[in-house]
Amino acid sequence: MNQIRLRGDSSLNQSTTAFPIDANGDQTRLAPRRKIALIPGSNAHLTDEIHCLLRRRLRVAGLIALAGNAYFFLKGLLFGSSFLVTTLDFSFHGATVGLMTALCLLLWSRNALSLRALRTIELTFFGSMACFFAYLQLNSFNHARDVLQVAGNHEDAIRLATTANGLRWFILIVLYGTFIPNTWKRCAIVVGLFVLTPLLLTFGACFKCPIMGPHLGSATVDMMVVLVIGAAIAIFGSYKISELQQEAFHARKLGQYQLHRRLGAGGMGEVYLGEHLLLRRACAIKLIRPDQAGDPTNLSRFEREVQAMATLTHWNTVEVYDYGHAADGTFYYVMEYLPGLSLQDLIERHGPLSPGRAIHFLRQVCSALKEAHGIGLIHRDIKPSNVIASQRGGVHDVAKLLDFGLVVHQIPVGETSSDQKLTVQGTVVGSPPYIAPEQARGKGEIDARTDIYSLGAVGYFLLTGQAPFVRDTAMELLVAHIHEQPSPLRDVRPEVPHDLETVILRCLSKDPTERFQDADALDRALADCDAAGHWDHDQAAMWWNEQIEAPPKREPQLVG
């Protein structure tokens, strides 16, 4: 019985390439296919991560502190307060709440803030709370002194006042240490100031006071215990957080590349947005982990095929910059990152394409396949999500063929190769909606005409908004590709020209001998269609500019 391994959504279904920018802000193309030396990166990128983390943490810490202060301020206004009784008291508290509100609004705004600006906000935020807590502490001691002149049990009253003040400072210290990313030394300096301030205020308020002075020692010790515990938690927490950030940063490094957010995942790996640490060039990095690859020979096959991919230089093929193995055995390869829309996303967002625009994309993919087929590489996974409509060099609607994860070498009839051992016979590979009949059977009869079939299925999708066969399960799709004929395109969308429909249906012939025999023949047939040339780069630029000004609707609509 055949083993079935179906290809899921492409790893690069989402937007995939950024390009170097020259001094004038224009995109430039680097010299292709150059090996990059493995040179350790700098800490500048870690600083960038801390910058983003600091803003997120300040937002959360700010909301927590603001909520607490605003609650007690409103409570004091409505029901009175033990310590805030004068207009000056409430004015100071209100000013603190107002300042904290303004800082929170700034942090949650879309304004770009430098690391220095964020550090200034950090110190202003926590400094304003420290000033208010110091004011509260002096008020509490003055209030306690007035009360103690009349009441007795001085020591218990002072202990209560110092405990309340110590708790406020404890919360401030722990909030700072656990939320704000710092080196432990910087955290220790700031926290040290937070510890010294209430202790000095306690000493100053009680030292010469005849009522509270005798109890200065016990009050100071009680407060010191609370503050030292808070300082220990804050400094150790800051140290561990910083250490974990460093470890996570280095864990996301592959040689000279730094991983950022995940772009997508497929059946054989994951794709991340990455960056070259020295060139600061964005790239897409595909990771194929040993446990995902299954048979260990798959990793060898991927490495072999990536080496072959690296020789492809066509404008319409995704460029491979580098590849290698991580320390844990993960195989990775680095590709250009293409901002844009996959053809799958393009149709889902905007509906079927005009015949001229569909031909425009299909001919570009044919051009990419000419080079690949010319050196014996069969893609085997051509589908709308593996073609990106991107902008390159100021040119719009540039089709980029990507995800060669299932690529295989075509072996001439009668010849054998050790490479064949890396491809399991009887295994179904590909994406069911666009798979060729010979792939669906799990046979080894794979050649350029297999890609022609899949490209014809992509053309069917571009023109009608649906794949040639729509079924509930993958197995039903495989059976349909093997035995059933697709509905004529004009039955689904009457405005499709007859000559273009004929070309697409010929690509979808069950018998490979009845299809176009190579990508060049298909390209010529598409060029002979009446709609060829009805879409050009100027129209594409105009269309994309309109989408920037007016975001696309989700309802299907004719594009182009």
What's the one-letter identity of residue 175?
L
- Closest among 58, 198, 214 to 134, alpha carbons compared: 198
* Catalytic site residue from 322, 381, 447, 451: 381
Query: HSE of 59 in the Cβ direction (CA atoms, 13 Å)?
Result: 13
CA distance 277 to 256: 6
Q: Quick check: 142 and 212 in contact, CB under 8 A?
A: no
Dist CA 117 CA 96 (whole Å): 19
Kindly tell me the burial class for residue 9, based on how many C-beta atoms sit within 10 Å of its own C-beta (0-12, 13-18, 19 or more): middle
How many Å apart are CA 482 and CA 254, to the nearest integer?
43
Alpha carbons 67 and 202: distance in angstroms, whole number: 27
Q: How far apart are CA 89 and CA 79, in angstroms?
A: 15
**Active-site residue 291, yes or no?**
no
Residues 6+ apart with CB under 8 A from 252: 258, 259, 260
Helix (H, G, I), strand (E, B) or coil at 338: coil
Q: How far apart are CA 121 and CA 110, in angstroms?
A: 15
Q: Which long-range contacts (CB under 8 A, 24 or more apart) does 550-553 make?
A: 552/349, 552/350, 553/349, 553/350
- Residue partners of 285: CB distance under 8 A and separation at least 6: 254, 257, 259, 271, 272, 273, 274, 332, 333, 334, 335
Please state, in angstroms and as integers, the Cα–Cα distance from residue 10 to each residue in 269, 316, 534, following that order: 10, 17, 30
Record the tokens describing residue 330, joined without a space: 């993960």
DSSP at 94: H
CA gap 100, 69 in Å, rounded: 9
Cα dihedral sign, 198-203-209-215? positive
- Stated length of the chain: 560
Q: Which residues are catalytic?
A: 381
